[in-house]
Amino acid sequence: MAPTIKKATEISPEKFYDRLAAEYDGMTGFEQRFPYEQPFFRMIRDRFQLKTALDAGCGTGFHSILLGRLGLKVTATDISEEMLTQTRRHAKENGIHIKTIKSKFPGLKKAAPHQFDSVFCLGNTCAHLLTEEELLHSLSSFYGVLNRHGVLILQLLNYNRILAQHERIQNIKEADGKTFIRFYDYENKLIRFNILTLEKNTGSISHSLKSVMLRPWKPQEIIRCLRHSGFDEVNLYGSIALDRYQSASSKDAVFVARRETSFI
């Protein structure tokens, strides 16, 4: 008989990622992503002449390590102490110094009182902001820690496509003897993001389910809030490669926002 899977109890994003931290690298293919993603981040570094970066919502530190390998001075922040522990471990293993700070987005200006060339907020992190007020406070915080011509690189899934297709299964990944199934439940204007973990044991399969609420921000909503937060120039792309955004087919929505346009 197949196991009965009950709906997981809703928990805060902090607790969700604390519980997920030990499995996160396997689920996201930590090491395998470097060869594919590094050329795109090198291109971004060179295009915007970046020397410093704040990785907001760093997770286990993949992009912090990648940016550090490219020679940037990186500060990594997250609300999950367990995720930051993994980031520090990866930094030590790679021989890279990364300053880590536990902070929510609205508190960044106080927690990281420096002016950065860039803020990276990747991995669909802003979908955890469930209200426009939270989003505006967070974007204003990003604006506040950038230097005069600093740039924000913000990545979300393309919810125009996902909502149009009512897509449920987001990803299935096998790693370390486990199968990770990421899927959505649509609940009014929000989405319940679920991670079902299956592990084969002798003669049986054990499972666990973790869930957290997301808001499926549409690109036009993000652009409006970026402008409201003070960003001077906002461009929308379809991936971190900065290719053309297509509402019906792009997997991601990537926003590049400048604090002030440079005419130099």
Per-residue pLDDT of the chain in tens (264 residues, 90 and over written 9): 444 555 556 689 999 999 999 999 999 888 899 999 999 999 999 999 999 999 999 999 999 999 999 999 999 999 999 999 999 999 999 999 999 999 999 999 899 878 999 999 999 999 999 999 999 999 999 999 999 999 999 999 999 999 999 999 999 999 888 999 999 999 989 999 999 999 988 778 899 999 999 999 999 999 999 999 999 999 999 999 999 999 999 999 999 999 987 644
Listing DSSP states for the chain in one string gives -PPP-PPPPP--HHHHHHHHHHHHHHHHTTGGGHHHHHHHHHHHHHHHT--EEEEET-TTSHHHHHHHHTT-EEEEEES-HHHHHHHHHHHHHHT--EEEEE--GGGHHHHS-S-EEEEEE-TTGGGG--SHHHHHHHHHHHHHHEEEEEEEEEEEE-HHHHHHHT--EEEEEEETTEEEEEEEEEETTEEEEEEEEEEEETTEEEEEEEEEEE----HHHHHHHHHHTT-SEEEEESSTT--B--TTT-SEEEEEEESS----
- At residue 218's C-alpha, the angle toward residues 215 and 219, to 5°, is 135
CA atoms within 13 A on the CB side of 213: 12
Tens digits of residue pLDDT in 101-121: 999 999 998 998 789 999 999
CATH 3.10.450.630, domain 162-214, yes or no: yes
pTM: 0.92
Task: Report the alpha-carbon distance of residue 182 to residue 169 in Å, rounded.
Answer: 6
From the number of C-beta atoms within 10 Å of its C-beta (0-12, 13-18, 19+), residue 85 rates as: middle
Please give the CATH superfamily to which domain 13-159+217-258 belongs: Vaccinia Virus protein VP39 (3.40.50.150)
The torsion region of residue 79 among left (phi > 0), alpha (psi -120 to 50) and beta comes to alpha
**Minimal CA–CA distance to 154: which of 110, 105, 197, 113?**
105
Domain coordinates in residue numbering, the chain: 13-159+217-258, 162-214
